[in-house]
Structure 1
Amino acid sequence: MIFKDVLSNSNSFRTFKTVTHCIFDLDGTILDSETMYHEVIKDVCAKYGKKYSQDLKGRMYGGTDRDICKSLVKELGLNISPDALESELEQMCLKALPRAPLHQGAERLLIHLRDNHIPVALATNSTERTVHKHVEARPKLFGIFHHMVCVTDPAVYRGKPYPDLYIVAADRFPDKPKPCKCLVFEDSNVGLKAGISAGMQVVLTPHRPLELRHARKATLVLRNLLDFQPELFGLPPFADTPQLNKIRR
């Protein structure tokens, strides 16, 4: 389906609730790293003489490294254990992913929320080691987050599509907002399921073809974060143009 048709159909007749806190996914939402990530997976599979097909790739989007590695070993019959594959994948990602560019509108939105004293957190299926590399590459940008919750956090029992990451992220704000007061920003169906299961509204910015049945579950579907209107959710509106507000690393 053409993306504009998905937008018009999924966003029709929507109602939005006022929020006080925002929680962001990382890969594919803030960083344009999903493409790089799946290229790394493709290279790993090729190393073991296997092809990472488009069909398999589509089913892996948004998953944890652990779940992806288990699936790859099982479906492709890789001659390596899931644990060893996960370790190899993580080492390659640590080198590649911090070079990923920011998605359109992500930096502008984060700065806007910071300047208007809206608490923000990060909730990601990435490991703590990987996120640490991103923080090293962009310390000022990641310094905007009040806290960051990774899939390897001891308090997180299951990664997305389960709600654990978002529930823990909300609970770590000092004022412990109710889930309905938290707005989630996601790019994948896996993340969408996690946010909804946590009882939160979800703004979805998909970068792959999205079926209407999935889009309808989101609170709002956008082309990118430049199109986000904070006032729809009771947040302060932008006072600048999308070209403004840049932060140095």
Structure 2
Amino acid sequence: MAFKPVTHCIFDFDGLLVDTERLYFKIIDDVLKEFGHRYTVEIKLMVLGCTRKDCARIVIDHCRLNITIDEFLRLMEEKCIETLPKCQLLPGAERLVRHLVKKGIPIAIGTSSSLAALELKTTHHGDFMKNFTHLVSATDDPEVAAGKPAPDVFLVCAQRFESPPQASRVLVFEDAPNGVRAALAAGMQAVMVPDPAVVTQDQRNEATLCLNSLEHFEPELFGLPPFDDEILSESPPLNPRNL
């Protein structure tokens, strides 16, 4: 398959750059236990890539909980404060990000995560986050009218580059089906790095390219500078996805 050359990259955050999905699974599961329910892969598939409020709404509706969205989010927040700072970078994330920055490729983050949650998740990753020119939160940014799978977060993010590119020149990296759909709806290409335990083959097929890890990404496929030996030798060891 022939891919179109790109000049800019936008990265999702959770489950793509940092290993937060297993942490969130435990957080939501712990909240649901208080109501006699358990968080399942089925529910996780429904909320992947959603904003915090949409996630809470879906979980509440699915489990028929007698609780408001704000109450559910408060319970989650209590557990997030302790848990989220423990997240680690996923395999290939730092290598790819450092490579693109070194080669002068503008990169940014377009995420459904709230700014408050991002602050917790990046507690130990401040230097890594400095690589990105900007970040757009679908939860908090007033210009993002709708969350993924709507294209808003990626369209807004692309327009905030110093020299905004055409949508077709942007490559989005995602782990969730809703994120892939948002990127495609924005007129961008989407590289998907899914959790194999929760994403179906049909959902994988929606992406422009599907990989098992960012470690396997070949920049030259999209007209980006290829990795060189120096970047490979500098790349530090990273934690695996499934610990």
TM above 0.5, one fold?
Answer: yes
Q: CA deviation at 1:46?
A: 0.6
Q: Give the alignment partner of residue 166 of structure 1, picking from 144, 154, 162.
A: 154
Cα offset for 1:184?
A: 0.3
Match of 2:119 among 132, 144, 153: 132
Gapped regions of structure 1 (runs ≥ 5): 1-13
Confirm whether residue 231 of structure 1 aligns to residue 224 of structure 2.
no
What's the % identity of the aligned pairs? 38
**Counterpart in 2 of 1:10?**
none
- 2:205 is the counterpart of 1:216: yes
Partners of 1:179 and 1:125 in 2: CA distance: 19
Matching residue of 1:87: 74
Distance 2:144 2:136 in 1: 8
* Match in the other structure for 1:8: none
Does the residue aligned with 2:123 lie in a helix, a strand or coil?
Answer: helix
The residue that corresponds to 2:184 in the other structure is: 196
- State whether residues 46 and 58 of structure 2, in contact with CA within 8 Å, keep that contact through their aligned partners in structure 1: no
Counterpart residue identity of residue 153, structure 1: D
Please list every run of 5 or more consecutive structure 2 residues that lacks an aligned counterpart in the other structure. Answer: 238-243
- Range moving further from structure 2, 130-139 or 171-180: 130-139
How many equivalent residue pairs?
235
2:204 & 2:163 partners in 1: Cα distance?
A: 31
CA distance in structure 1 between the aligned counterparts of 2:41 and 2:200, rounded to whole angstroms: 16
Q: Distance in 2 between matches of 1:94 and 1:162?
A: 29
Q: 2: CA distance between counterparts of 1:94 and 1:178?
A: 38
User: Is 1:32 matched up with 2:22?
Assistant: no
Counterpart in the other structure of 2:241: none
Q: Are 1:50 and 1:78, in contact at CA under 8 Å, matched by a contact in 2?
A: no
Amino acid at match of 1:80: I
Q: What amino acid is the match of 2:203?
A: H
8 Å CA contact 1:105–1:242 kept in 2: the answer is no
CA shift, 1:217, in A, is 2.0
> Are 1:245 and 2:235 matched, yes or no?
yes
Deviations 1:123-162 (A, max 9, x none): 1110011112233321110000000001211111111111
Per the alignment, in what secondary structure is the counterpart of residue 137 of structure 1? coil
What is the DSSP-based 3-state SS (H/G/I as helix, E as strand, rest coil) of the residue aligned with 1:136? coil
Residue 154 of structure 1 aligns to a residue in which SS? coil
The alpha carbon displacement at 1:94 in A equals 3.4
1:72 CA drift (Å): 1.8
1:44 matched to which residue of 2?
31
| Aligned residues of 2:56 and 2:69 also touching (Cα < 8 A) | yes
Structure 1 residue 242, shift from structure 2 partner = 4.5
1:184 and 1:195 in contact (8 A); partners too: yes
2:240 corresponds in structure 1 to: none
2:58 aligned residue: 71
Q: Does 1:150 align with 2:137?
A: yes
